[in-house]
């Protein structure tokens, strides 16, 4: 749009779309040389998305809704497709929903992967997807008032907490089993999958026939918060906190979305530093997951060994950024900290140590008899299901698809490094684990490559001005898969819209199919294999309703009681 585009990649996709659907395309706008937004007629939206999805090897990244009534009297729908065939680029299919007719034809019957995105738009904007097979709420709680759609610009202040409308749980869990089944509830806070998600397993004996789940118990309203309270630079720090494990990937995705929208050129050195830190983050995240795999198969000594070695990756992050987890390194236009000679030397030393340590631990894990046979052929992700739902990261790579944003859409410093994509063909928990193990060594090698020829020069570009209503995508490959952000700038030094899609969001919808046909005891293992993020509660508050007193019991006390089983802290 505002960029002098010389080499446009992806023009053939638009040509193809124009041929297949002669009168559908209304407008095409290029955000960068590899990003195009095509506006199509609303009634041809499903055909347009499915034509690109199945006809041109498109994968659905995210569905974005936007309240553009103050700009053009309509709601915007953006279906972001990552084109991974011949011409690798991003094509965004856009359609406008007029503000006086709040419905649009659902794409889900043609492309099943759109289901979560369309359910979310229904919740957040009150637009009805006509023909959507699943019209239950996704993001909003069951006791949220009808007709209050938080992301509409005129709906509510971000600080408002509406009164719950009901005391009962009224979410309908779906069971497609033909025969009679028993319900096994898991969560909202289950011990082995600490994530607040509620799972309903429909079982016949020990076998899972079907499964359904409810997420978003901890929806934090970050998008609304960013739009209403924070400036552009401040949101990079908020994005750092989207995930407790791979937050930096979000920070980079957000920053690059704004940089793409405004055509800001980020210095090469800053790009390299971003990539280097993303790999540091991948190191600790993958080691955490390998540790958890050990834990799930009952090999807790292995878990401890992986966590001991993971500490070196944490030290690396602390040394390079000043914090173990929330790196806080990005600003729009570049990074805040350079990597100095001393840090480079120490990094190379830590990388060498890590390579040896991880190698030894992997040999130990594979030699453990209760690992391989326990995880092989468990939690199968069928290739057809994977193609329909567009999952990301080691999950989809474990089913043989070569999808990796770092390679498909090389961003930041990944343009100048050698990197292959590891895939597995087992489609099971074992394949995913082995993909992650292989990627640890990739990350180590990438860090070395990036340090060996780091471009010289400045680390931040501050020579730009913000222009209102520019939009673009930003993307990264987080340890769990592609993170994708869509940002539109506003006219008040704040974002007009920020859509942040974490990788696990794309992976949840296929979980149902992975759970089917396994036993109840496999469930935590399968959930763990998509590597969802974990949160922990480390103390308990006991409230005595009769005496109206409350008492907080420290974690240590509970742990002691668990071991000794005497002197109860509850008395």
Partner 1 sequence: MFKLLKEVFRTGEATVKYPFAPLEISKDFRGKPEHTAEQCIACGACTIACPANALAMETDVAAGTRTWSISYARCIFCARCEEVCPTQAIKLTPDFELAVTNKADLTVKAVFKLADCVCCGEPFAPAKEIAYVTALIEATSVTSADGTTAAVSEDTERRRRMLATCPSCKRVNDLVQIARITDQQEKRR
159 is a site residue for partner 1 (CB under 8 A): no
353 is a site residue for partner 1 (CB under 8 A): no
Q: How far is the CB of 458 from partner 1 (least distance, A)?
A: 16
Q: DSSP string covering 114-175, please?
A: GHHHHHHHHHHH--EEET-S--S-SSS-TTSPTT--TTSTTT--TT--PPPS-SS-------
Q: Which residue has the tokens 């907080």?
A: 552
Q: Rounded distance, CA 37 to CA 80, Å?
A: 9
Q: How far is the CB of 364 from partner 1 (least distance, A)?
A: 4
Mutual angle of helices 341-366 and 429-452, in 10-degree steps: 160
283 is a site residue for partner 1 (CB under 8 A): no
559 is a site residue for partner 1 (CB under 8 A): no
Token pair belonging to 160: 């408002």
Closer residue to partner 1 (CB): 288 or 361: 361
300 is a site residue for partner 1 (CB under 8 A): no
447 is a site residue for partner 1 (CB under 8 A): no
427 has binding-site annotation: no
192 is a site residue for partner 1 (CB under 8 A): no
CA distances to 66, 299, 517 from 180, in Å: 43, 35, 15
Residue selected from 1, 5, 71, 364 as contacting partner 1 according to rule CB under 8 A: 364
Site for partner 1 in 366-405 (CB under 8 A): 367-369
Closer residue to partner 1 (CB): 88 or 241: 241
Q: How far is the CB of 366 from partner 1 (least distance, A)?
A: 9
Residue selected from 3, 5, 21, 319 as contacting partner 1 according to rule CB under 8 A: 319
Residue selected from 262, 272, 328, 450 as contacting partner 1 according to rule CB under 8 A: 328
Contact assessment for residue 248 and residue 273, using Cβ atoms and an 8 Å cutoff: no
Q: Rounded distance, CA 251 to CA 241, Å?
A: 8
Closer residue to partner 1 (CB): 315 or 416: 315
Q: Rounded distance, CA 515 to CA 379, Å?
A: 6
Note the Cα 231 to chain centre separation in Å.
Answer: 23
246 has binding-site annotation: yes
The region of 114-122, 257-265, 276-284, 301-309 touching partner 1 under the rule CB under 8 A is: 301-309
Q: Which of 267, 302, 286 is CA-nearest to residue 458?
A: 267
Q: How far is the CB of 327 from partner 1 (least distance, A)?
A: 9
Site string for partner 1, 228-267 (x = CB under 8 A): --x--xxx-xx--x--------------------------
1 is a site residue for partner 1 (CB under 8 A): no
Q: How far is the CB of 353 from partner 1 (least distance, A)?
A: 13
Q: Which of 5, 6, 4, 48 is CA-nearest to residue 26?
A: 48
Paired sense of beta strands 481-489 and 471-478, if any:
antiparallel
Residue selected from 8, 128, 312, 336 as contacting partner 1 according to rule CB under 8 A: 336
Closer residue to partner 1 (CB): 359 or 519: 359
Q: Rounded distance, CA 191 to CA 523, Å?
A: 12
Q: How far is the CB of 219 from partner 1 (least distance, A)?
A: 20
Greatest CA separation for the chain: 78
533 has binding-site annotation: yes
Note the Cα 217 to chain centre separation in Å.
Answer: 16
Contact assessment for residue 509 and residue 115, using Cβ atoms and an 8 Å cutoff: yes
The region of 17-25, 84-92, 302-310, 518-526 touching partner 1 under the rule CB under 8 A is: 302-310
- State the alpha helices, DSSP H only, in 263-325: 268-296, 300-321
Q: Which residue has the tokens 């007009």?
A: 496
363 has binding-site annotation: no
315 is a site residue for partner 1 (CB under 8 A): yes
Question: From the CB of residue 99, how many other CB atoms can be counted at a distance below 10 Å?
Answer: 13
Residue selected from 323, 352, 377, 570 as contacting partner 1 according to rule CB under 8 A: 323
223 has binding-site annotation: yes
Token pair belonging to 263: 């055509």
Q: How far is the CB of 207 from partner 1 (least distance, A)?
A: 32
Q: Rounded distance, CA 76 to CA 85, Å?
A: 27
Terminal CA-to-CA distance of the chain, rounded, Å?
68
Q: List 200's β-bridge partners, or say none.
A: 185, 212
Angle subtended at Cα 531 by Cα 450 and Cα 390, rounded to the nearest 5 degrees:
85
Residue selected from 256, 275, 305, 529 as contacting partner 1 according to rule CB under 8 A: 305
| Number of shown-chain residues binding partner 1 (CB under 8 A) | 27
Contact assessment for residue 255 and residue 285, using Cβ atoms and an 8 Å cutoff: no
Closer residue to partner 1 (CB): 156 or 364: 364
288 is a site residue for partner 1 (CB under 8 A): no
Residue selected from 85, 185, 322, 468 as contacting partner 1 according to rule CB under 8 A: 322
Burial class (CB in 10 A: 0-12, 13-18, 19+), 326: middle
Residue selected from 12, 175, 181, 326 as contacting partner 1 according to rule CB under 8 A: 326
Mutual angle of helices 268-296 and 341-366, in 10-degree steps: 30
Residue selected from 70, 166, 301, 359 as contacting partner 1 according to rule CB under 8 A: 301
Q: Prior bond to 188 cis, omega within 30? A: yes
466 is a site residue for partner 1 (CB under 8 A): no
Q: Which of 32, 27, 25, 26 is CA-nearest to residue 1?
A: 32
User: In sequence order, what are the residues at sequence separation of 6 or more whose Cβ sits closer than 8 angstroms to the Cβ of residue 116?
Assistant: 63, 138, 505, 508, 509
DSSP state, 189? Answer: B
Q: How far is the CB of 311 from partner 1 (least distance, A)?
A: 9
The region of 56-64, 195-203, 313-321, 536-544 touching partner 1 under the rule CB under 8 A is: 313-321
Contact assessment for residue 34 and residue 9, using Cβ atoms and an 8 Å cutoff: yes
Q: How far is the CB of 251 from partner 1 (least distance, A)?
A: 11
The region of 276-284, 355-363, 371-379, 520-528 touching partner 1 under the rule CB under 8 A is: 355-363
Q: Which residues are annotated as a binding site for Ni(2+)?
A: 243, 246, 533
Q: Which residues are annotated as a binding site for Mg(2+)?
A: 223
Q: Which residues are annotated as a binding site?
A: 223, 243, 246, 533, 536
Q: Which residues are annotated as a binding site for Fe cation?
A: 246, 536
Which residues make up the interface to partner 1 (CB under 8 A)?
Answer: 230, 233-235, 237-238, 241, 301-302, 305, 308, 315, 318-319, 322-323, 326, 328, 336-337, 360-361, 363-364, 367-369
């Amino acid at each position: 749009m505002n960029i002098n585009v010389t080499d446009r990649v992806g023009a053939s996709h638009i040509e193809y779309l124009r041929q297949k659907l002669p009168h559908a395309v209304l407008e095409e706008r290029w955000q960068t040389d590899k990003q195009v937004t095509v506006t199509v007629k609303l009634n041809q939206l499903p055909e347009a998305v499915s034509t690109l999805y199945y006809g041109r090897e498109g994968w659905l990244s995210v569905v974005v809704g936007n309240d553009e009534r103050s700009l053009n009297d309509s709601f915007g729908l953006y279906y972001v497709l990552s084109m991974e065939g011949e011409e690798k680029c991003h094509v965004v299919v856009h359609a406008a929903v007029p503000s006086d007719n709040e419905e649009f034809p659902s794409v889900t019957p043609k492309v099943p992967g759109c289901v979560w995105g369309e359910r979310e738009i229904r919740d957040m904007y009150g637009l009805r997807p006509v023909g959507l097979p699943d019209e239950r709420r996704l993001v909003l709680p069951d006791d949220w008032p009808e007709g209050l759609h938080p992301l509409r610009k005129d709906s509510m202040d971000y600080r408002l907490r509406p009164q719950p409308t009901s005391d009962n749980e009224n979410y309908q869990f779906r069971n497609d089993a033909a025969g009679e089944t028993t319900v096994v509830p898991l969560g909202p806070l289950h011990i082995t999958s600490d994530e607040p998600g509620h799972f309903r397993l429909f079982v016949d004996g020990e076998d899972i026939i079907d499964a359904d789940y409810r997420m978003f118990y901890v929806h934090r309203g970050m998008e609304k918060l960013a739009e209403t309270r924070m400036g552009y630079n401040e949101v990079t720090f908020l994005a750092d906190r989207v995930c407790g494990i791979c937050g930096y990937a979000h920070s980079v995705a957000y920053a690059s979305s704004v940089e793409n929208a405004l055509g800001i050129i980020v210095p090469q050195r800053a790009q390299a530093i971003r990539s280097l830190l993303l790999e540091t983050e991948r190191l600790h995240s993958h080691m955490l997951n390998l540790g958890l795999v050990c834990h799930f198969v009952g090999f807790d000594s292995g878990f401890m060994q992986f966590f001991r070695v993971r500490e070196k990756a944490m030290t690396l992050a602390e040394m390079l950024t000043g914090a173990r987890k929330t790196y806080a390194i990005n600003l729009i236009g570049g990074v805040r900290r350079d990597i100095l000679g001393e840090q480079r030397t120490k990094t190379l030393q830590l990388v060498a140590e890590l390579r040896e340590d991880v190698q030894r631990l992997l040999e130990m894990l594979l030699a453990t008899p209760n690992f391989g046979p326990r995880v092989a052929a468990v939690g199968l992700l069928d290739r057809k299901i994977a193609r329909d739902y567009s999952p990301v990261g080691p999950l989809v790579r474990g089913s043989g698809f070569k999808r990796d944003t770092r390679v498909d859409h090389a961003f930041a410093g990944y343009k100048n490094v050698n990197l292959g994509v590891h895939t597995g063909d087992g489609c099971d928990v074992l394949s995913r684990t082995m993909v992650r193990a292989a990627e640890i060594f990739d990350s180590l090698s990438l860090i070395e490559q990036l340090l060996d020829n780091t471009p010289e020069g400045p680390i931040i570009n501050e020579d730009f001005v913000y222009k209102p209503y520019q939009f673009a995508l930003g993307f990264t490959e987080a340890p769990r898969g592609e993170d994708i952000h869509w940002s539109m700038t506003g006219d008040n030094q704040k974002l007009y819209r920020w859509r942040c899609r974490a990788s696990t969001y794309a992976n949840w919808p296929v979980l149902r199919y992975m759970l089917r046909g396994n036993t109840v005891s496999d469930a935590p293992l399968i959930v763990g294999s998509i590597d969802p993020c974990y949160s922990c509660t480390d103390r308990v508050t006991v409230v005595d309703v009769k005496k109206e007193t409350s008492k907080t019991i420290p974690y240590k006390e509970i742990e002691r009681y668990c071991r000794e089983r005497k002197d109860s802290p509850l008395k």
